[in-house]
Chain A
Amino acid sequence: MKFSGSRRRFILAGATLGGGLLIGYGLFKPRDFLGDPQLLPLNADEVALSAWLKIAADGTITVAVPRVEMGQGVHTALPMLIAEELDADWTAIKVTQAPIAAVYGNIVGMVDTTPIDEANRGPVGVSMRWAYARLARVLSIQITGGSSSVRDAWLPMRTAGATARLMLLEAAALRWNVKVGELSAHASVITHTGSGRTFKFGELAGEAAKLTPPTQIDFKSSTQYTLLGKAIPRVDIPAKTNGAARFGVDTYRADMLFAAIKASPVFGGVLKSVDEEALRKAPGVVHVVKLDDAVAVIAETTWHAQQALNAAAIEFDGGAYAKRSLAGIFDDYARAMAVGDFFGYEDIGDARSALTKDPVIQAEYRAPLLAHACLEPMNCTVRVDVDGAEIWCGNQAPDLMRMNAAHALSFPQEKVTLHTPYLGGGFGHRPEPSTMLQAIKIAQAVPGRTVKLTWSRAEDLQHDTYRPPALARFKARLDASGNIAAWLHQITSPDGVPATMARWYPQLPLAGPDRTSVDGAAFLAYAIANRRVEHCAVAVDPLPIGVWRSVGHSTNLFFVESFMDELALAAARDPIDFRLRHLTARPRESALLERLREISKWDTALPSGRARGVAFGNAYGSIVGQVAEVSIVGGALRVHRVLCVLDCGRVINPDIVAAQLESGIIFGLTAALYGEVHYDQGRIKQNNFGDYRLLSMADTPEIITHLIDSDAEPGGVGEVGTPAVAPAVANAIAALTGSRLRSLPLRI
C-alpha cells in the first residue's frame, strides 16, 4: 500500500503556497468592503451610502443582501449586522437581493476549502488561506452555501453599517457646526447631547452621501448591542404564511407558455427517437423541442406538457453507461483502495508503524447516493429576445447562473437579466445551472415568448447532482491506558467540488485536491499522536455529483463518530468520557460535551428498551454535539428525542439558529433512516416521495437545542445540525442492540 499522494493536484497551480504568494502582493488591493454605491438602483428620494445600503427621505433603509433566502434566514440575519452598527430603527429596514457584482462575492466559503487544518495559524496555514482568499476574490462567486453567509458578511456588512453611521453623524455635525463626538445615534435618530436637537437619518442621508467615507471605524463592543443576539422575527415569514411569497416556480407573465421535459433516464444517454407528430397533436401542446439528451414539450399549462410527455413514444440510447450501477461504483472504489493511490490530507506522527503492532481494530463503513429533493421542483422561466434575455430562477449563485446563461445565449452578460426570487429549498442543488440551460434552449424555440420549464418530481429525483457515495476504512490501536495510539482513516469517493465546479465553469480546467472529501474526517479535534487521513479520488462518471447539505461532513462524521464509539467499547469506556480523554487540549469542545452530558441527563438510566447515543464534531467554524434516544418497538426503530448543543461563537439571532438546528437534524435524520437513491442499469430508480421517503410529522422526534454563550467569531449554522444525527442514532442502536450498523441508511 502506498501512503504518499501521487496525485498532488491543486485547484489552481497559482493557488499553492508559493504561487499564491507570488501573484498575490503584486496584483491585489485589500478587500474593498464598501463597494460602489452606484451598484444600487435608486428611487428619486433615495441615496446609497455604499453598495450595501440606501436610505430614503422617509427613513426607509434598504439593505442589499448578497446571499439568497432559502429558509435559512439570511434576509434577516445579514441586515441585522448593518442595522446594529448603523444604530438603525429595525422597523425601517427593508431587504433587497443584491445585484451581481464582485463586492458581494463569498470569500469565506472558498477559504473553507483550503486543504489544511483550520487550527493551523502558522506560516503555512496563514499563507494557504491567504492564497485561497485571493483566488476567491478573482472568482468572486456570489454563492450561498457552505454555512458561510454570516461568517463572510461579518466584517463587510458591519463595516457598511458603522461607516454609514459615521457619515450621517458627520453630516449632522456639519449642519449644527458641532463636533461628531457630541452626537449620538439611536433607532435612526441622531441627537446632539448638549442641546437635545435631533435629526432623523432620512433627513441627512443626501448630505451624508456626499461625504468621503471614513477610513477609520470602530465596531461596537458586544455589550452595546441592541439587535445582535436577539430573536428578531424573520422578515420573510409573513409572506410565507399567506401565499404571497414568490418562488421561481411562481413566475407568471402575460401570454406565457409552460414546458416539461424528459431527459434520458440513463446518464450519458442520448435521444434516439421521438414521435414528434403524435406529441404535437396531444391536447394543449404548442411546440416540441428536441435536445441532444431530452425531449421538451411547450404547452398551455404545465400539466398539459407533463401529460403529453408521459404518453409520448420516446426512445433513448443509453450508450456506454447503460449498465452502470452503484454496486459497480463500490467495486471501483474497492479496486482503487487495493491499489492504494491516496492523497494524504493529514499525517501526524507515524500511523503506519504504530499500526503494525496488534491488536488493531478495523472497520469498513459506507454511505449511499442521496438526492436533494427540494420541495420546489427545479424550474426556470426564460424569455429570449433578439438582443437579450430575461430569466427568473431560484438559485444559489446568481453570478454563475448569469455567466452560464450568457455563454449559452452568446450574449454579453449585461444583456441577460436574472431575477432571483425565494428558493423553495436549496441544500446544494440550486447553484446548478442545468435546468436553466435546458430552459434557455426551450425558450429559444419560441423567441419573444416567456416559457417556464418545471421539472416533474421524477425528473427532479432522477437528474439531481447527488451526494456522492463513499467508502471508508479505519484501522486503529489503543494504548495500555485505553486511549487511541494510532488512527488510519482511508476514504474513497469522487472529488465532489472539482466535479461540481467543472459544471459551473466549463471553460476552466479544475482538479483536486478536494478538502470537502475529508471534511469531518481530517483535522479532528481529538488528540491522537499517530494519525493519518487519506483520500482516494475515484470518478463516478457519468453520474452527476454535487454538494449536499454539509457535504463531506454528512458522510465522514457518520464514519468517524461511529468508529469512535467502537473504540470506546473496545476501551470499555463511556462514550462521552472516551471522547473527552482525547479533547484535553480543546476547552471549547470539552465544555460542549460536558453541557451535552448535562442536558441529556446522560448519566441517568433510561426506561428499559431505550438507549442513547452521542456524536460530536467541528464543522464550518462551529462545534456541535448531539444525543439521540432510540427504541425498537415491533421491529421498528423509533427516535424519540434528539438533544443538540451548538457552539457557533457569537449568535446573531438565536431563534434562527435554533430553527436551523431543528432543520439540519431532521434533514440528517431523514437521510439516516431512509435516505438512499438506487442507481442501476445506468439510471436512478426513485421517481417520487413514495420511494424517496422524507421524514414526516409522525416520525419527527422531540428536538431540544441549546446554544453555548460565546464571544468567539461567528461560526456556520445552516449545515451543522445535519451530520451528527446519523452517528448519534447509530451509536444509540449499538448501545441498545449490541449490533453495529456501518452502512447508511440505518436498517435494524
Chain B
Amino acid sequence: MNGAEYIVKFLEKKGVDLVFGYPGGVVLFLYDVLGRSSIKHILTRHEQGAIHGADGYARVTGRTGVCLATSGPGATNLVTGIANAHLDSVPILVITGQVGVDSIGRDSFQEADIVGITMPITKHNYLVKELDRLPGVLEEAWNVAREGRPGPVLIDIPKNIFTGTADFPEAVCNLPNRKIPLKNGLTRQLERIAKVLKEAQRPLIFAGGGVISSGAEEALAEFRGYSEIPVVTSLMGKGAIPEEPGGSLGMVGMHGRPAANLALSQCDVLLALGARFSDRVTGNPQNFLPETCIIHVDIDPAELSKNVHADFPVVSDVQTFLKLLLQRLKEENSKPTIQPWLTQINSWEKEFTLSYQQGSLLKPQEIIKEVARQAVNEPIVVTDVGQHQMFTAQYYPVKGKRNFVTSGGLGTMGFGLPAAMGAAFGRPGETVVLFTGDGGFQMTVQELAVMAQYQLPVKVFILNNSCLGMVRQWQELFFKGHYAHSLFTSGPNFVKLAEAYGVKGLQIAKSEDLKVVVQEAFSYPGPVVVECIVDQKENVLPIIPPGGKPNEMLGRWHGEAHVSRLS
C-alpha cells in the first residue's frame, strides 16, 4: 500500500464522505487515489473557498471538516481560513502536499513552509517526513482536531510520502489519556456554585460558542427552564438557545441588543458558559463588571482568567457541567428568587427596543426581518462580516440546532459565500440563507460556480450599500466623516454576475418589492442571488464605543431621531 492509498483509506475509515479541495502538482498522486474512492470531492474555485467550505460544513454538522490543497500557493491560500477556524474553534483536518523530502529547503518550485506559517493559527500541525509515522500522525491529528476545545489541524505531506509504499503498522494514539483536564474538585466547585446561584439576586447566563460545540443546547434550555435565569449570548453563542421569549435576550457586546447589554451590566452573578470574553464583549477588560461574581466554565483551562478574572473557574465541557449543576439544584430543590430582576429586564426590553427609521431608501434591517418572517423550517443562517452581520445578529431570531454560521473571532470578509456552500453540503435538502455585503461577496464570489453546479438551495441576500459599511460607519463616528477609501465608486451588476455563473439573479430596490422578491427567492428551488440596494448611510446601532462598558451604548432611544448615549 502506498501513502496516498493509506490516507484515503484512513479518511473512509473515519466516516469522511465529503472533502473540499483543489488539486495541484504534488498532490496528484493523492488525487489519483481519491478519484477512485467513495469520498465525494468538492472542487472549489479557490483554496480559500475549500477551507471556508470545510468550516461551514463542520459548523452545521458538528463533524470534522476535511480540506485538501497542494504545496506552495495552494497551501498559503488556506491561511486565512485556517486562522478563521482557529479563532472560532472549528474542527478541520487540513492536508497539504509538500515538495519531496529531498527538495525541502531548496526553494523548490511551489515550496512554502506551511508548517512554519500555520504554527500560530492551528491547534497543532505536522510535517510527515518518514513514511512509518504517517498512520500515527493521521490518527493523532484526527483526535486533536476534535478533542477538548476543537480546532484546525494541518498535516503537511511531502510528495514522496504519497508514493512510498510500506506495510503500515496499526496506528496507536496515546493522546486521549494523556492530558484529560482534571475532574477532581468539580463536585466541590459545583457545591459552591449552586450556593452562589441560589443566593443571587440578579443572575445571568452568558452562553458562548462552547455551548454549541459541546452539544449542550438541550441542557441549556432545560437549565434555563428550571432555574429561570435569563440568558444572553455572544455572537458565537447565537443560536445556542432559541431567540424568543423564554429563550435568549440576544447578543451582548459592542452591537448587542440593549436589554441584553443592560442585563449584563447589572447582573450580580454571571454564569459564563464556553465563552472567552473577547474584547467585542468586554470593552476594556479592566473595567468589565468589577462587582460581579463571575463563574467561568470552559473546556480549555487557558481561557479561565485569561481576559477577565474568574471567581469560580471550572474546567469542564459545558454539557457535563450543566447537567451536573441542574441535578444538584433539583436535589436541593433550590432556585434563585429573581422575580424583581426578571421584571426589570422585561421593562428594559419594552423600553429600549432595537429601532431604525424607515425612509425612502430600503433599510438593511427590514430585509433581514422580512426574510426571517418568510423563512420556513428554520433555515441555516450564514453571514459574511460587517454591518449586515451585526444587523443579522440583532434582528434575525435564530432557532434550531447549529443554524447560525458566522466568522466571529477573525471577522473574515469573504467567509460567507463559501461557508454557506459548505453548510449546504453538510445538511443536504435544507435551505441556507446567506446575508452578505457587496464588499465581502466580491472577495469569494467565484464559489457561485459550485453553487450552480450542485444547484445548492442557498439564498444569497447581498445588502448592497456601495461601500464598506462598517468602515464607513467608523469613519463617520470616529474620523469626522473622512471616508478614506471605503466608498465603492464602481461595482458589478450583481444580477448579471449571478446569471453569468448560472445562478438566478434578483434585485430589490424599493420597500414595496421586498415581500414579493423574498417570496420568489424562497420558492425557487436552487441558488438565488438577491441584490438589495440599501441606504448607504444606515449605521449599526446601538454601539458601545471602543473600550466602553456594557451599558454605555450609543443609540436611538424612546423613538427619538437623534443618537444619544444611554448612560
Q: Do A and B bind each other?
A: no
